[in-house]
């Protein structure tokens, strides 16, 4: 057993019918249509829940005439879509330090769609409000959730004392985990099954999340591209989500030609263990975990059983440059990294270059892939990812072309000079 809790039964939360220090209800609404004064109410509730023991905010349950949350209306598709994590997450964490760890779920319960904020308790230090807004938020205040279901500043001595005690307890637990890591985990190596299983478990969760929320275009065949990069040893201590976000922003800013295809990472949001970008209008997902795992998933359309080569060079090259910078910011520039690229459902697919942007490959219309999945691997340091991005991207493209039975010449690196 993993020791992790099972999936949450959101119906029990929706139908609980009583607000508490861990549960708040909101009537159906469109987040984008709210004035700022309405949006910051969510900030206050998230701050308060995170500074207590965590909890949930359910959107889509209104009050009856007696003031009880029992009007289960759910949300319209437009209202549900308005709670886009890439919009809501940055807005809420603009007012919080450190950033609040929460996810936004959209469960379907008895035929109605609800939005549920799943707010986690703070890890080491409580969340302080970093900006004032009218009468809703006050700068420098620690908000808490009380037994009468209010989200208000902690102003009693006993409330401040409870916050301090929780912070000390969390820090003692973190120190204990660090000591266990020093005693039992620092000896991990590339062949350590425990380290591998940790990464594989995170990739499995990431893959399942993506496949539950994204589908290939209706009636159109697609390949599943999966690209992962991980240090060869599992870190004894995770980076904080704020450190992962800061490293991501810095690495994006260092890309010579701008974010390009990685621009979606600028609109990411925090999960329990990672920074995730899931564009609502695209079929791809980026995820950067606290354990230093990078994971990218995308559906690539293959109309007429043809994969367009033109979309791949920029993806490979810019991702390698980004990762070289990203791991360097985290202080892991000399760490050996394992890159794995997998392309599924490839049997019978041809690699083509219809737009002729890159004319250096001898594309043969009769050449096709005869295996069900393509797997490529690279083992380099983070510094090499950055310094040799062109060479390594060309190597990946060359090996990919070979799997499609194309004779790829050494001139492949020249495509990045165009």
- Mean per-residue pLDDT, 105-123: 92
| 240 or 256, greater pLDDT | 240
Q: Are 70 and 39 in contact (CB under 8 A)?
A: no
- Mean per-residue pLDDT, 96-107: 91
Whole-number pLDDT of residue 251: 87
| 371 or 235, greater pLDDT | 371
Share of the chain above pLDDT 90, in %: 37
CA distance 275 to 267: 10
Whole-number pLDDT of residue 189: 46
Residue 9 predicted with pLDDT over 90: no
> Positive or negative CA dihedral for 138, 119, 81, 240?
positive
| 353 or 204, greater pLDDT | 204
CA distance 270 to 276: 6
Best mean pLDDT range from 46-50, 148-152, 305-309: 46-50
Give the global pTM: 0.53
CA distance 158 to 133: 26
Residue 36 predicted with pLDDT over 90: yes
The band of 268, judged by pLDDT with boundaries at 50, 70 and 90, is confident
| 406 or 102, greater pLDDT | 102
Q: Are 141 and 126 in contact (CB under 8 A)?
A: no
Whole-number pLDDT of residue 397: 87
Q: Mean pLDDT in the chain?
A: 83
- Mean per-residue pLDDT, 58-72: 91
């Amino acid at each position: 057993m993993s020791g992790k809790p099972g999936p949450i039964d959101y119906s029990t939360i929706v139908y609980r019918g009583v607000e508490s220090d861990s549960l708040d209800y909101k009537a159906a609404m469109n987040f984008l249509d709210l004035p700022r004064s309405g949006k910051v109410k969510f900030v206050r509730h998230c701050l308060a829940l995170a500074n207590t023991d965590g909890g949930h905010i359910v959107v889509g349950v209104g009050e009856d005439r007696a003031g009880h949350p029992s009007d289960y209306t759910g949300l319209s598709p437009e209202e549900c879509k308005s709670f886009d994590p890439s919009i809501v997450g940055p807005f809420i964490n603009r007012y919080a330090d450190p950033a609040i760890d929460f996810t936004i779920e959209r469960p379907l319960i008895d035929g109605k769609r609800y939005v549920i904020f799943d707010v986690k308790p703070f890890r080491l230090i409580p969340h302080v409000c970093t900006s004032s807004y009218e009468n809703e938020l006050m700068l420098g205040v620690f908000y808490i959730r009380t037994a009468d279901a209010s989200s208000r500043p902690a102003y009693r001595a006993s409330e401040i004392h409870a916050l301090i005690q929780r912070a000390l307890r969390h820090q003692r637990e973190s120190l204990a985990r660090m000591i266990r890591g020093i005693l039992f985990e620092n000896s991990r190596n590339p062949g350590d099954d425990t380290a591998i299983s940790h990464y594989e478990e995170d990739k499995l969760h990431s893959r399942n999340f993506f496949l539950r929320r994204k589908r290939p275009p209706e009636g159109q065949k697609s390949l599943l591209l999966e690209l992962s990069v991980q240090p060869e040893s599992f870190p004894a201590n995770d980076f904080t989500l704020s450190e992962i976000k800061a490293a991501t922003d810095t690495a994006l800013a260092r890309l010579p030609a701008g974010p390009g295809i990685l621009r979606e990472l600028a609109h990411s949001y925090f999960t329990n263990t990672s920074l995730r970008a899931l564009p609502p209008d695209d079929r791809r997902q980026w995820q950067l975990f606290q354990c230093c795992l990078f994971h990218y998933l995308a559906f690539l359309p293959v109309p007429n059983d043809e994969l367009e080569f033109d979309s791949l060079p920029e993806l490979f090259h810019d991702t390698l440059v980004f990762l070289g910078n990203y791991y360097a910011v985290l202080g892991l520039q000399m760490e050996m990294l394992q890159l794995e690229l997998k392309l599924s459902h490839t049997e019978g697919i041809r690699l083509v270059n219809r737009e002729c942007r890159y004319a250096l490959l001898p594309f043969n219309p009769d050449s096709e892939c005869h295996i069900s999945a393509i797997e490529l691997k690279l083992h380099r340091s983070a510094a090499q990812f950055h310094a040799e991005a062109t060479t390594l991207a060309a190597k990946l493209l060359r090996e990919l072309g070979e799997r499609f039975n194309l004779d790829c010449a050494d001139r492949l690196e020249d495509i990045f000079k165009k």
